[in-house]
Homo-oligomer: A and B are copies of this chain.
Amino acid sequence: MPEFNAPLRDMRFVLHEVFHGPALWARLPALAERVDADTADAILEEAAKITSQLIAPLNRSGDEQGVAIEAGGVRTPDGFRQAWQTYRDGGWVGLAGNPEFGGLGMPKMLAVQFEEMLYAANCSFSLYSALSAGCCLAIDAHASEALKASYLPALYSGQWAGTMCLTEPHAGTDLGIIRSKAEPQADGSYKVSGTKIFITGGDQDLTENIIHLVLAKLPDAPAGPKGISLFLVPKRLVNADGSLGASNAVSCGSLEHKMGIKASATCVMNFDGASGYLIGEPNRGLAAMFTMMNYERLSIGIQGIGCAEASYQNAARYACERLQSRAASGAQNSEQIADPIIVHPDVRRMLLTMRALTEGGRAFATYVGQQLDIAKYAEDADERDAAQRQVALLTPVAKAFFTDNGLESCVLGQQVFGGHGYIREWGQEQLVRDVRIAQIYEGTNGIQALDLLGRKVVADGGQALAAFAAQIRQFSESEPPFRQPLLKALGELEDLSQWLCEQARRDPNAIGAASVEYLHLFGYVAYAYMWSRMAAVARDSLVQDPAFYGAKLASAGFYFERLLPRTLSLHASIRAGSASLFELDAAQF
């Protein structure tokens, strides 16, 4: 059975040594009173315990048993209810939530590391919590004070859970064409009707109530995305005194049968004139929902890192134990029948690829978390704005690049096991199945790429990119390791971005033809920045812990030598333009 050990040493390295989290928190008043280095370490220690000892052991049994729909609703796998109780009692749902309503108000750069552990331990379990946390964020940012007071405390405490209800059978990416309706009632509430699909945690038996955030159209709404409103629709109505009232007209019609995340309930939800409450302005629901979506996008990105870390741990352990063939340079283990497969260069190539992508992703996630903390807590408005622009630029990269790398890493981790990776026993095939959804939901990775190149680079006139580049150049003045390849890759990214801005003026398809490869290119440059930052710290600290920092420097070297060159192909393919995509008529496909 696979075993998960939270990578605490590396998390502390990133949090403390590379990004100096505690120093940042100390200068942000709201955070200064809540958290310091010791608190953060204690939280991560506790998180490591609960994820590895309580939640990880339910991962395989949850996959095998799956969720079921019964007369009373959806049943989660054995052990999930008890684990949820312990989890919620620990306050984990509201870890980064608003303290005014019971959240713990911890920094996002700490929360992302916790989320990584959670996903690494058990993707399905994690989703019940992740959706709730995102739901809280949207309510906190956009709902009335009365709704906040009624709903947030029980959501943050994990007594209730939240969902996001966007997709309909005919409307996924294109939310402008949804058909769900909301009829205003005399008391100021609404009757919400429609069918929503792919609703994670749409029903479950973990919590007493479920709070759905539902996109629907008002009777007089304009067509398209500017005619969508957001409603809070509880599974059970909430009385004025906070107690639970009657059941609302919300039901789970069926569960989807999926490739993976089988212990996560993916529901078809029917709203039949259910009572709901408007969140934010009428017809501005998409913007409000995007508060939640952006949060979810980073979280789902982290699913990619978590799965990759779990796969790496299993594969590295197996590679050190499995005896098969001899090293090319001669037997390393001559008293046994064969050498451990970690002697073989291709096995090392696979492990180092996983490692370089996962550790690079962990650093980048923590970095985006840091920008989120600055955007939220900095006293200076300009500093907040600058950080917010970085978040907007980097979130689609995080979501898509983490998860694409997550699949690559899980597939590599499965490959290290040979035939044993394809059978259930070792857990590697489940990781591949579970991570795959992260490239699809919360906006497919293709949509993330359009967001990055179309909105965050081209429509932005390259300003946010220029700010990111300026920061990298500033860092590079410290003469870090790998400075030259980092600056070269950055310069080429900037040139290409400028070329794409020009192309986009002439060719409406220029953005979509380049976007996915552009996002990957951006991701490799961002990881080069992360690896150079990590290598700089490792170089300066090497004597203190040669094993850890030496491995960090070696992994950085591997990244620059063998992974960053992937940008070469991406540049060439992007420069080919959109013409070759449009030579075939639809009928010729």
Contact = CB atoms under 8 A, between A and B. Distances in A.
Interface of A: 167, 170-174, 177, 197-198, 256-260, 266, 316, 319-320, 323-325, 327-330, 337-338, 340, 342-352, 355, 407, 411, 414-415, 418-419, 421-425, 429, 432-433, 436-437, 439-441, 444-446, 449-450, 508-509, 511-513, 515-516, 547, 550-551, 554-555, 557-558, 561-563, 565-570, 572-573, 576, 578, 580-589
**Which 4 residue pairs of A and B lie closest in terms of their CB atoms, listed nearest first?**
A565-B572, A345-B512, A554-B583, A259-B429
Given A338-B174, A340-B586, A511 B259 contact: no
Contacts of A170: 323, 337
Given A257-B425, A347-B446, 11 more contacts: A172-B418, A257-B424, A259-B422, A327-B508, A328-B512, A346-B450, A352-B584, A415-B440, A554-B583, A562-B580, A565-B568
A345 to B, nearest CB: 4
Nearest to A328: B508
A551 B588 contact: yes
Nearest to A574: B562
A345 B573 contact: no
Contact of A424 (B258, B513, B563): B258
Given A319-B589, A419-B172, A551 B432 contact: no
A328 B433 contact: no
Contacts of A256: 423-424
Contact of A512 (B316, B346, B568): B346
Interface centre among A340, A425, A557, A569, by most B CB within 10 Å?
A: A569
Nearest to A407: B411
Contact of A557 (B515, B547, B580): B580
A167 to B, nearest CB: 7
A257 B348 CA distance: 28
B349 A513 contact: yes
A328 B568 contact: no
A446 B415 contact: yes
B588 A561 contact: no
Contacts of A511: 328
Contacts of A587: 320, 547
Nearest to A551: B588
A492 B205 CA distance: 61
Nearest to A449: B346
Nearest to A581: B348
A573 B566 CA distance: 8
